[in-house]
Amino acid sequence: MNKPISLTEFILDEEKRFPKAKGNFTLLLSQLEYAGKIIASHLRKAGLVDILGKTGEKNVYEEEVVKLDQLSNDILLQTLTSSQQVHAVASEELEDIHVVEKHNGEYLVFLDPLDGSSNVDVNLTIGTIFSIYHRSDSLLQPGNKQVASGYILYGTSVMFVYTSGKGVHGFTLDPSIGTFLLSHPDIRIPDEGDIYSLSEANSIGFDGPMTSYLQSMKQGRKQLKARYSGTMVADMHRVLLKGGIFLYPSDPVHYPEGKLRLLFEVNPLSFLIQHAGGKAVCRRGNPLEITPESLHQRSDIAIGSRKNVEEYESFLNG
């Protein structure tokens, strides 16, 4: 039997390719991995201890904060701010970027501590999304400057999926030894797929091109499958492995700018999908080329298999 490769071994091996690397990136990813394991251990007990339900507070988007949003945010923040690697951390749950004064860290980390909060109380898949940049003059940089991005998925099993620009790799937590082991090396998204993932509940607000696109998808080709869980990262993970498209369009009735957060959701997953051979677009073009104007800026998004996204684009551009 071949010895399985752990996430730590894998990252260390990647680092060897950069003779000048000092190990900071490896340590940063290890801290994210560690925080993910702690969050996962709390989630596994949800329902038995008092961590389900809402806190009664609202976040910057006027969304109700669930207790596990808060807990995940605190665990990640404590882990990262005590690390020597981080210059600043930003979270979907915090109004402002938290600059770590006492360390002269090299990296900026953007977090959606818990994606899919509405699925917490009903025991469905949720995740943590992360996005890493080098420290630079501006705290807000376009997504194509990301050094790495990825997510931890709390599903049937716990997975850590990431890219640092050299392929997308997936690791599954072996609970018996508490270690993430390489289970999905070099993930490539199929060039085309039959899954479409969006909230058609918003369709009353969709404009002409979007309505025609949806109509055309359902006509005259092999049977499509609709899959939408309310957790973007889980829906995206399915699209990554099986092929297809995930959309959260803007629409004037519900979300004129789109719903999803550019820095916390759209950019990390766009960067990752691009490195798996897929594509992401928004109405402004490539989301990764947008220079953010504010921390909590939203964007529309269509992301997934190259052919599916190009088909969507052909409607968008008339």
Are the CB atoms for 150 and 94 separated by under 8 Å? no
| Least distance CB 181 / ligand AHG (angstroms) | 27
Which 1-60 residues touch ligand AHG, going by CB under 6 A? none
Check binding of 235 to Mn ion (CB under 5 A): no
With respect to Mn ion, which residue has the nearer C-beta, 73 or 83?
A: 73
With respect to ligand AHG, which residue has the nearer C-beta, 164 or 270?
A: 270
How far apart (Å, rounded) are the C-alpha atoms in residues 46 and 68? 9
Phi-psi region of 190 (alpha: psi -120 to 50; beta: other; left: phi over 0): beta
Q: Which stretch binds ligand AHG (CB under 6 A): 71-79, 113-121, 179-187, 293-301?
A: 113-121
Which 193-222 residues touch ligand AHG, going by CB under 6 A? 199
Quick one: which of 195, 210, 232, 276 contacts ligand AHG (CB under 6 A)?
Answer: 232
From residue 5, give the alpha-carbon distance in Å to each of 13, 183, 305: 10, 9, 28
With respect to ligand AHG, which residue has the nearer C-beta, 105 or 244?
A: 244
Q: Which phi and psi (to 5°) does residue 261 adopt?
A: -90, 125
Question: How many chain residues touch ligand AHG (CB under 6 A)?
Answer: 11
Buried b (16+ CB within 10 A) or exposed e, 189-204: bbebbbbbbbeeebee
Letters for 258-287 (x = contact with ligand AHG by CB under 6 A, - = none) are -x----------------------------
Q: Which stretch binds ligand AHG (CB under 6 A): 162-170, 179-187, 229-237, 291-299?
A: 229-237
Check binding of 300 to Mn ion (CB under 5 A): no
Q: Which amino acid is at 144?
A: N
How far apart (Å, rounded) are the C-alpha atoms in residues 68 and 121? 10
Q: Please list the residues that pair with 58 across neighbouring strands.
A: 64
Of 192, 216, 213, 200, which Cα lies nearest the Cα of 312?
A: 213
With respect to ligand AHG, which residue has the nearer C-beta, 28 or 260?
A: 260
Of 117, 32, 110, which Cα lies nearest the Cα of 68?
A: 117
Quick one: which of 117, 128, 146, 305 contacts ligand AHG (CB under 6 A)?
Answer: 117
Quick one: which of 141, 172, 231, 305 contacts ligand AHG (CB under 6 A)?
Answer: 231
Which 86-125 residues touch Mn ion, going by CB under 5 A? 92, 112, 114-115
How many angstroms from the chain centroid is the CA of residue 194? 22
Question: How many chain residues touch Mn ion (CB under 5 A)?
Answer: 4
Check binding of 230 to ligand AHG (CB under 6 A): yes
Beta strand ranges found along 135-273 (DSSP E): 146-154, 158-163, 168-174, 179-184, 195-197, 225-226, 245-248, 260-261
Check binding of 251 to ligand AHG (CB under 6 A): no
- Interacting residues with ligand AHG (CB under 6 A): 63, 92, 112, 115-117, 199, 230-232, 259
